[in-house]
């Protein structure tokens, strides 16, 4: 697909780009707005579902349980054994088709709105902002010499991160060990060494991932990030900066008359400061972008202050009208076929 023209950073823009980063660490500025609200509500629904699902009972049994000791999976009354791996393959194929389908329509919205990595990364960032203050204060704290305030704030932050990680690991394990046994046995230190080992292992993974690896997972490790661009076409909605309207960018006073020499971008750098992967959307389409919409929220706030129309940064498809319906129909049909196949095979496995 044809991408917006990338322009080299001027030295001033490079300075702005670096302000939210220190020694490779990105300090994410918190941002409120339309897309942030969608993500927050979605996160609440998804995290609540993750926590509550193991507590659901079906015909007197835990509705979803991967019983590793007995090598069977219980799924709302359906019991599957290792010889039913075929159904798992179909479930994974269905999930892949759905993901490809959504990506073709809306780009990396899975990454930006629903991926556990993003949800936990922003959850950890929320804790950091509450304990250490704004992203600038956080940056200053990291630069400051060791002292009582720094020790206290870092201890509290890492303590909360570790508690969240431990709870996450416990919830995850409750899909493998019946909830009726798991919590009481772990909290009374009577769980088997294997169960305790896995809980601590998953807690460590969550802590390292959410608190330290963060966006590097999306940038360098996640395989989905690498091949998703092959699913984009001219009808895919991607977060885009409107160069024609925004350039020439340049700072100005809020109440200044609109200049004919300057475009609508006031070069405030807020779209970079809020970006969880630390990129500048004004440089055009980049593989790092997770289509989360935070830069659009930040820019819309700025446009409102300057009394300019919103949407300098927005979701844009190059040819909205000419959607390739045949391709969408193909993904949709493949997903439906998989679903009905799973349903039929699942029912016969009851
Ligand atoms: S450029 Fe914008 S949409 Fe892309 S990841 Fe950064 S904040 Fe999110
Ligand atoms: S937030 Fe908007 S106005 Fe500010 S630098 Fe980014 S694109 Fe320009």
The Cα 304–Cα 308 span in angstroms is 6
What does residue 26 show for φ and ψ, rounded to 5 degrees? -95, 130
240 has which bridge partners?
Answer: 314
**22 bridge partner residues:** 25
Q: Could you list the residue range(s) of the whole structural domain that residue 154 is in?
A: 36-79+113-228
Using the mean position of ligand 2's atoms as its centre, give its distance from the Cα of residue 168 in Å.
36
How many of the other CB atoms lie within 10 Å of CB of 10? Answer: 11
Cα–Cα distance, 158 to 127 (Å, whole number)? 9
Q: Tokens 């000791």 map to which residue?
A: 69
Which-ligand-closest: CA of 264? 2
Per-residue tens of pLDDT for the chain, all 350 residues:
333 333 434 444 443 444 466 667 889 999 999 999 999 999 999 999 999 999 999 888 899 999 887 888 888 888 888 877 777 788 888 888 888 888 888 888 989 999 999 999 999 999 999 999 999 999 999 999 999 999 999 999 999 999 999 999 999 999 999 988 888 888 888 888 999 999 999 999 999 999 999 888 888 888 887 777 777 877 788 899 999 999 989 998 887 777 778 899 999 999 999 999 999 999 988 888 999 999 999 999 999 999 999 999 999 886 554 455 666 666 677 667 766 666 666 555 55
pLDDT at 220: 86
Answer yes or no: is 63 within a domain. Answer: yes
| Closest by Cα among 270, 278, 219, 212 to 27 | 278
Mutate to test the pocket of ligand 2, among 4, 244, 253, 266 (most ligand atoms within 8 A of CB): 266
Residue 346: its pLDDT value, please? 57
Q: What sign does the CA torsion over 208, 148, 141, 275 have?
A: positive
Q: d(Cα 279, Cα 281) in Å, to the nearest integer?
A: 6
CB-based pocket (< 6 A), ligand 2: 241, 246, 249, 265-271, 282, 298-299, 302, 312-313
In a domain, 90, yes or no: no
- 308 C-alpha to ligand 1 centroid (Å): 21
Specify the pLDDT at position 86: 77
Q: What is the pLDDT of residue 74?
A: 87
| Residue at 267 is within a domain | no
Residue 140 resides in a domain: yes
Q: Which atom of ligand 1 is nearest to the CA of 278?
A: 6
SS3 assignment for the chain: CCCCCCCCCCHHHHHHHHCCEECCEECCCCCCCHHHHHHHHHHHHHHHHHHHHHHCEECCEECEEEECCCCEEEECCEEECHHHHHHHHHHHHHHHHHHHHHHHHHCCHHHHHHCHHHHHHHHHHHHHHHHHCCHHHHHHHHHCCCCHHHHHHHHHHHHHHHHHHHHHHHHHHCCCCCHHHHHHHHHCCCCCHHHHHHHHHHHHHHHHHHHHHCHHHHHHHCHHHHHHHHHCCCCCCEEEECHHHHCCCCCCCCCCCCCCCCCCCCCCCHHHHCCCCCCCHHHCCCCCCCCCCHHHHHHHHHHHHCCCCCCCEEEECCCCCCCCHHHHHHHHHHHHHHHHHHHHHHHHCC
Residue 2 is predicted with a pLDDT of 38
Question: What is d(CA 164, CA 174) in angstroms, rounded to the nearest whole number?
Answer: 15
Structure tokens at 304: 């409102």
For residue 266, which atom of ligand 2 is closest to its CA? 3
Indicate whether residue 239 lines ligand 1 (CB < 6 A). yes
CB 126 within 8 A of CB 211: no
Q: How many domains does the chain have?
A: 1
How many whole angstroms separate alpha carbon 55 and alpha carbon 76?
12
Q: Is 125 within a domain?
A: yes
Would you say residue 290 lies in a domain? no
CB of 298 within 8 A of CB of 19?
A: no
Indicate if the alpha-carbon torsion angle 177, 180, 181, 182 is positive or negative: positive
Query: How far is CA 194 from its chain centroid?
Result: 31
Q: Say what the pLDDT of residue 6 is.
A: 38
| 18 domain residue, yes or no | no
CB–CB of 274/258 below 8 Å?
no
CA of residue 180 relative to chain centroid, distance? 31
Structural domain includes residue 253: no
Which ligand is in closest contact with the Cα of 313? 2
Nearest-atom index, ligand 2, CA of 298:
1
């Amino acid at each position: 697909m044809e991408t917006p023209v990338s322009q080299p950073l001027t030295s001033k823009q490079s300075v702005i780009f670096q302000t939210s980063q220190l020694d490779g660490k990105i300090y994410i500025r918190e941002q409120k707005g339309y897309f942030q609200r969608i993500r927050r509500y979605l996160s609440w629904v998804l995290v609540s579902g993750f926590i509550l699902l193991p507590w659901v009972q079906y015909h007197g049994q835990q509705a979803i349980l991967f019983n590793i000791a007995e090598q069977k999976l219980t799924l709302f009354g359906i019991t599957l054994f290792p010889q039913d791996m075929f159904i798992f393959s179909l479930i994974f194929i269905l999930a892949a088709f759905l993901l490809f389908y959504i990506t073709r329509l809306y780009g990396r919205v899975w990454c930006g709105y629903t991926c556990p990595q993003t949800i936990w990364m922003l959850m950890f960032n929320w804790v950091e902002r509450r304990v250490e203050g704004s992203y600038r204060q956080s940056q200053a704290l990291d630069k400051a010499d060791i002292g009582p305030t720094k020790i206290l704030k870092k201890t509290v932050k890492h303590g909360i991160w570790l508690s969240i990680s431990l709870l996450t690991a416990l919830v995850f394990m409750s899909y493998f060990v019946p909830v009726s046994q798991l919590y009481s046995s772990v909290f009374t230190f009577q769980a088997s060494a294997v169960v305790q080992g896995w809980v601590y292992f998953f807690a460590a993974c969550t802590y390292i991932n959410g608190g330290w690896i963060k966006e590097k997972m999306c940038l360098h490790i996640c395989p989905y990030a690498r091949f998703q661009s092959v699913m984009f076409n001219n009808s895919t909605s991607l977060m885009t900066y409107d160069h024609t309207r925004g350039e020439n960018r340049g700072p100005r006073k809020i109440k200044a008359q609109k200049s004919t020499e300057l475009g609508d971008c006031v070069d405030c750098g807020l779209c970079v400061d809020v970006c969880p992967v630390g990129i500048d959307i004004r440089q055009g389409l980049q593989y790092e972008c997770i289509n989360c919409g935070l830069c659009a929220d930040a820019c819309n706030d700025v446009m409102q202050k300057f009394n300019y129309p919103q949407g300098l940064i927005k979701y844009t498809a190059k040819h909205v009208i000419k959607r390739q319906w045949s391709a969408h129909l193909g993904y949709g049909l493949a997903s439906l076929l998989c679903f009905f196949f799973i349903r039929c095979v699942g029912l016969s496995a009851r």
